[in-house]
Amino acid sequence: MSKKVIRPYNGPAGGWGALRSVAKHLLEQDVPVHGARTLLSANQPDGFDCPGCAWPDRDHTSTFEFCENGAKAVAAEATRHRATPELLGQYTVAELAGYSDQWLENLGRLTHPMRWDAASDRYLPIAWDEAFARIAAHLNALDSPDRALFYTSGRCSNEAAFLYQLFVREYGTNNFPDCSNMCHEPSGTAMKAQLGIGKGTVQLHDFEIAEAILIFGQNPGTNHPRMLGELRKAAKRGAAIVSFNPLRERGLERFADPQDALEMLHDGSTRISSDYFQLRIGGDLAAVKGMIKRTLEVDAQAQRDGRERVIDLDFIAEHTQGFEAFAAEVAGESWDTIETESGLTRAQLERAGDIYLQAKSVICCWGMGITQHKHSVATIQMLCNLLLLRGNIGRPGAGPCPVRGHSNVQGDRTMGIYEKPAPEFLDRLRDVFGFEPPREHGHDTVGAIEAMLDGRCTTFFGLGGNFATATPDTEATHRALRGCDLTVHVTTKLNRSHLVHGRDAYILPCLGRTEIDIQEAGAQAVTVEDSMSMVHLSAGINAPASPELLSEPAIVARLAAATLGERSKVPWLWLIGDYDRIRDRIAAVFDDFHDFNRRVRVPGGFHLTNSAAQRRWTNPEGKALFKAHAVPTDLPVHRARAGREQPVFTLATTRSHDQYNTTIYGTNDRYRGVFGERRVLFIHRDDIAELGLQAGDWVDLESLCEDGVQRIARRFLLVEYNIPRGCLAAYYPETNALVPLSSFADEARTPTSKSIPVIVYAHQPQPAQGLRSARDIGLVRID
Ligand SMILES: Nc1nc2c(c(=O)[nH]1)N[C@H]1C(S)=C(S)[C@@H](COP(=O)(O)OP(=O)(O)OC[C@H]3O[C@@H](n4cnc5c(=O)[nH]c(N)nc54)[C@H](O)[C@@H]3O)O[C@H]1N2
Ligand SMILES: Nc1nc2c(c(=O)[nH]1)N[C@H]1C(S)=C(S)[C@@H](COP(=O)(O)OP(=O)(O)OC[C@H]3O[C@@H](n4cnc5c(=O)[nH]c(N)nc54)[C@H](O)[C@@H]3O)O[C@H]1N2
Ligand SMILES: [Mo]
């Protein structure tokens, strides 16, 4: 274990620290000499799409953009470490489960398909054909296709996702839980109802002209480092950048661009946020409503004074519905409630409102700090209400900008990875392919866990991801997976989901983005869609990690052929001979992908139509809707506080700088000043005192939920931090055991990972349970 150090970090994000960190990771991963060439090919027209995040590239044709965390993601895939059958054969699964997630990750790339052998409790190699035949036999023996679940993580390409949903629907179910259910689902749900489309309207060039950029619940310095380049340019030209975040994130404060030689040589940096509002966790709806209230008050005053109105009356009249009722509801909300629930003062909110009013064009960005609450959908609709007031949707430099996570999570949805598919889409599948797809809605992620727990589902298939660790309520989820008759994972590396398996279990290793994919017609490229709806090509440049690996489209197609056989209407094996054939089918199903093969070969790719960006409102009302929402005052945390003497905190689970979701690269969180430890709890100094504890003490966390289940996560180091009182932050996934399965966003069912009511007490060591609990909830064995 490396040494634990807690040391406030006052430098900028980026800078030399970022370069040093990349060098360290390249060395640790033992990336081959051509590793540098690999990094230089990320996001290049003839290279691969960076597996790091979904932030777009300048036309995908620019010169290399340095990104520390993109480089780590690439290095993790291009590593020289190999988890061969010989290596894995040395351990029983019970032994492997005793190790940390980081240790599993460091075993390296999987090289062979494997099947769990019950007699020896080991994963042993199996031939591809045999694996497909056995999985197919299992699927065909189920009394209903709805017994099986087909999970997707957001890294797979459009081609793989399209074939996957096609296979699963021809097989007969819409059971598509996906990572999006835990991520930006509320963004899609909120905007689809309100604006008619579930995607952001903004493109990269809008960042060049926006006069204000508001950033809610997002930490781009760590999770979307290339976004800092855009923010830096905007700050330099004088745009207002306003952050709303309970934590003062370094990347939102100062940034040194490693690409700017002068800035680097002179140890300079650029201020990013012009204003920073440290609101309470879950306080965004109240804060935005305060800004709206300010806007409407200023407007009313202007009206009384006979001055020009500050809201866009023409836009409201022509394009929206519900304004009068909405304005009346806002007027009825008291400043008291708004201040208490947001944790900001009226003066601060008026200031924020005035920044909004002074800017001719405003972009609103948001991330997981907004989407992982009970009231996420309402909060996002409040953000869109704010934009609508001054016509900030559908014109240059303005609009909503949900910043997506996984590099193709948006594309996977576009391709039909959705448990509630639209009837028109299913009609198209039927017409193009000639089979009748299932119409009944399937399970989302929470529904999938519930269905495994009560035995409705018995089979789990994962295309990427780490379901056992990414999902809420770790104990329940693990029980759910272990109860399955079959678990199968398509993956690049070993992770905990492969160790928390069903009675029969397979690991199917696939090619990564960085690798050359050879099929019958030669080397293939795939396509992805970024967070701003640009679709472009991605082609690997490295030799595969093992000659045994198959591409994701090939795995899906061969499994489909094995399962559906003669009864299939789809020429599976022919389709994967040349991915142009898959793209032609995609074009036949989605009008927006017309002429797909030609348009995607134009450097930079093409932009998908966005109706809201064109001010066409495709919801049933045919208008952008003002949606009134009261500031919530009866959330689980309010209820948990009522009548309890002991302080009840709101815990947000968040990412460190050294992780990619459940993939842990290291134990440092440089910008937050934490080194060598992940089990930390960020807490206000006065709260530590009130608990009668001291910084550096170890504590246990217990979540409070009305379902009567006791959920405890043990042994976290108290770190005194600049965070509002009553609010806590700790890392995901160590804290997932605290997120109740029954606690999710209204309408969107996203687990409430950013607002868990918890109590905190001195750590109570648990003798004897050591290894068993390590197996169950993935605690770290300290090597
Ligand atoms: N290097 C790296 N890149 C990644 C990822 C990764 O793990 N590592 N993950 C990818 C994925 S899948 C995603 S979805 C994105 C996630 O990227 P982000 O959306 O940035 O995700 P988080 O780090 O979970 O949390 C974001 C921020 O929300 C703040 N926050 C917490 N609660 C609240 C609240 O109630 N209100 C407000 N306003 N803020 C709050 C936290 O302080 C934190 O700064 O990044 C993607 N990119
Ligand atoms: N408490 C809490 N829980 C959360 C969150 C949170 O903020 N707090 N965030 C949620 C969010 S936003 C998300 S998106 C989910 C993430 O949920 P997932 O997408 O399920 O998890 P990841 O950790 O991104 O998946 C990592 C695994 O993907 C596999 N992999 C990597 N590259 C490839 C590839 O090219 N192909 C294939 N087939 N497999 C590959 C590797 O095995 C790796 O171990 O977690 C959610 N869970
Ligand atoms: Mo995500």
Q: Rounded to an integer, what distance in angstroms lies between the CA atom of residue 363 and that of residue 490?
A: 38
Residue 1 has pLDDT above 60, yes or no: no
Q: Assess whether the C-beta atom of 627 lies below 6 angstroms from ligand 1.
A: no
428 CB neighbour count, 10 Å cutoff: 17
Q: Distance between CA atoms of 296 and 183, rounded to whole angstroms?
A: 32
List b or e across 485-506, with b for residues whose CB sees 16 or more CB atoms inside 10 angstroms: bbbbbbbbbbbbbbbbbbebbb
SS (H, E, C) 120-187: CCEEEECCHHHHHHHHHHHHHHCCCHHHEEEEECCCCCHHHHHHHHHHHHHHCCCCCCEHHHHCCHHH
Q: What is the pLDDT of residue 782?
A: 31
Atom of ligand 1 nearest to the CA of 406: 12
* CA dist list (Å): 381 to 130, 188, 401, 441: 50, 11, 13, 25
Measured in angstroms, how far is the CA atom of residue 489 from the centroid of ligand 2?
13
- For residue 491, which ligand has an atom nearest its CA? 2
Cα–ligand 2 centroid distance for 465 (angstroms): 4
User: What spatial distance separates the first Cα and last Cα of the chain, rounded to whole Å?
Assistant: 7
Ligand nearest to the CA of 214: 1
Distance CA 216, CA 289 (A): 14
What pLDDT is attached to residue 59?
A: 61
pLDDT in tens, 293-331: 999 999 999 999 999 999 999 999 999 999 999 999 999
Q: Find, among 173, 618, 745, 170, the residue nearest to 418 by Cα.
A: 173
Given ligand 2 and candidates 101, 153, 446, which is best to mutate, with the most ligand atoms within 8 Å of its CB?
153
Q: Which residues fall inside 5 Å of ion ligand 3, going by CB?
A: 183, 405
Q: What is the 425 CA–ligand 2 centroid distance (Å)?
A: 27
Q: Taking the domain 133-182+408-610, which CATH number applies?
A: 3.40.50.740
Q: How far away, in angstroms, is 337 Cα from ligand 2 center?
A: 37
Percent of the chain with pLDDT over 90: 85
Q: Ligand 2: distance of its center to the CA of 467 in Å?
A: 7
Residue of the nearest CA to atom 44 in ligand 2? 495
Indicate which ligand has the atom closest to the C-alpha of 52.
1
Whether the Cβ atoms of residue 698 and residue 716 lie closer than 8 Å to each other: yes
Residues with CB under 6 A from ligand 2: 153-156, 179, 182-183, 368, 372, 405-406, 463-467, 470, 490-493, 495, 510, 512-513, 552, 653, 661-663, 732, 735-736, 739, 753
- Ligand 2 atom with least separation from CA of 663: 23
- From 654, 672, 722, mutation site for ligand 1 pocket: most ligand atoms within 8 A of C-beta: 654
Residues with Cβ within 8 Å of 365's Cβ and at least 6 positions away in sequence, in order, are 213, 214, 215, 216, 218, 401, 402, 403
The average pLDDT across 547-572 equals 98
- Give the contacts of 426 (CB within 8 A, at least 6 positions apart): 169, 437, 439
Ligand 2: residue whose CA is nearest its atom 45: 470
The per-residue pLDDT for range 317-375, each reduced to its tens digit, is: 999 999 999 999 999 999 999 999 999 999 999 999 999 999 999 999 999 999 999 99
CA quadruple 694, 696, 697, 703: dihedral, nearest 10: 100
662 CA to centre of ligand 2 in angstroms = 6
> How many residues would you count in the chain?
783
Of the candidate ranges 116-125, 129-138, 445-454, 531-540, the one whose mean pLDDT is the lowest: 531-540
pLDDT at 41 over 80: no
- Show the tokens assigned to 486: 């079959």
Q: Is 443's pLDDT higher than 80?
A: yes
Per DSSP, the residues of 681-713 read: EEE-HHHHHHTT--TT-EEEEEE--TT---EEE
CB 275 within 8 A of CB 342: no
CA–CA dist 56, 224 (Å, integer): 10
| pLDDT value of position 643 | 85
Of 774 and 298, more confident: 298
**CA 216 to ligand 1: nearest atom:** 38
Ligand 1 centroid to Cα of residue 409, in Å, is 15
Q: From the CB of 666, is ligand 1 less than 6 Å away?
A: no
Amino acid at 269: S
Residue ranges per domain, the chain? Answer: 5-77, 133-182+408-610, 185-402
Q: What is the pLDDT of residue 36?
A: 66
Does ligand 1 come within 6 angstroms of the Cβ of 68?
Answer: no
Q: What gap in Å lies between CA 775 and CA 368, rounded to an integer?
A: 29
Hey, whose CA ends up nearest to atom 28 of ligand 2? 465
Ligand nearest to the CA of 155: 2
31-40 average pLDDT score: 68
Closest CA to 683 of 719, 655, 712: 719
| Residue 298 tokens, joined | 């200023």
Measuring from atom 20 of ligand 2, which residue has the nearest CA? 465
Please give the DSSP secondary-structure letter assigned to residue 675: E
Q: What is the Cα–Cα distance from 203 to 411, expressed in whole angstroms?
A: 16
CA of 750 to the centre of ligand 3 (A): 11
Statement: residue 772 has pLDDT above 70: no
What is the per-residue pLDDT across 214-254, written as a single tens digit (0 to 9) for each?
999 999 999 999 999 999 999 999 999 999 999 999 999 99
CATH of domain 185-402: 3.40.228.10
Ligand 1: does its nearest atom lie under 6 Å from the Cβ of 282?
A: yes
The pLDDT mean for the chain works out to 94
**pTM for the whole thing?**
0.96
Protein residue with least CA distance to atom 38, ligand 2:
464
d(CA 53, CA 281): 24
Residue 32's pLDDT is what?
67
What pLDDT shows up at residue 602? 92
Distance 366 CA to ligand 1 centre (A): 9
Atom of ligand 2 at shortest range from CA of 184: 12
- In 3-state terms, what secondary structure has residue 75? helix
Q: In Å, how far from its chain's centre is CA 404?
A: 6
Given ligand 2 and candidates 179, 180, 219, 281, which is best to mutate, with the most ligand atoms within 8 Å of its CB?
179
Cβ of 183 closer than 6 Å to ligand 1, yes or no, is yes
pLDDT-based confidence at residue 54 (cuts at 50, 70, 90): confident
The alpha carbon of 403 and the centre of ligand 1 are apart by a number of angstroms equal to: 10
Closest-CA residue, ligand 1 atom 8, reads 660
Averaged pLDDT for residues 21-36: 74
